[in-house]
Amino acid sequence: MKQLRPAVLAGIFVVAGVLCWAAARLWNAYGTLPGVPLAAPIVLGAIAAILLATALSMRARLKAQRERRPGAKGVEPLMAARAVVFGQASALVAALVAGAYGGVGVFLLMDSLDVPARRDQAWYAGFSVLAGAAVIAAALFLEHVLKLPEGDDTTPEAQARA
């Protein structure tokens, strides 16, 4: 499995931001812009918390396993792989969603902050971008925790070469 590259996530964020900024301008020209839901930063924050809790739990279990503590519960490879896939998928979606809300937020900041409803929408969009960044950071941390050490011969690719 390939590691996530922050540059790819940044690219997704920027492209989604620019496209959603343009779409918000167009949509606003033809009517009312749909609102940014209050639940958006809450859901992204919950995903970030789950990813961080998973990473901390896995790190503690791996540390106990390396130190050969009695009764240490190891990490099953399939569970680790699922956690990494969940983290990577979450990071990709969070980059897309944060970019989308970032583009809408920039439009709202440029357009009209004197309208209280639009100002609230800009706040929600800003918090969504921050929560999306937290998801990305937690996913990259989880991926770092579960990265196999260099020279590990237990991977199927390494066993096939031997």
Q: Is the dihedral of CA 102, 107, 112, 118 positive or negative?
A: negative
Dihedral angle computed from the Cα positions of residues 81, 39, 35 and 106, in that order, rounded to the nearest 10 degrees = -60
Helix ranges (DSSP H) in the chain: 6-30, 39-66, 77-111, 116-145, 156-161
Return the structure tokens found at 129: 């971008």
Query: Is the Cβ–Cβ distance between 2 and 88 less than 8 Å?
Result: no
Q: What is the model's pLDDT at position 158?
A: 46
pLDDT at res. 110: 85
DSSP state of 67: T
Residue ranges of the chain whose pLDDT lies below 50: 155, 157-162
Residue 43's pLDDT is: 95
Any idea what DSSP says for residue 113? S
Crossing angle of the two packed helices 77-111 and 116-145, in degrees rounded to 10 = 160
- pTM to 2 decimals? 0.84
Per-residue model confidence (pLDDT) at position 152: 56
CB 16 within 8 Å of CB 95: yes
How far lies 62's CA from each of 29, 66, 81, 155, in Å? 55, 6, 14, 17
- Per-residue pLDDT, 151: 60
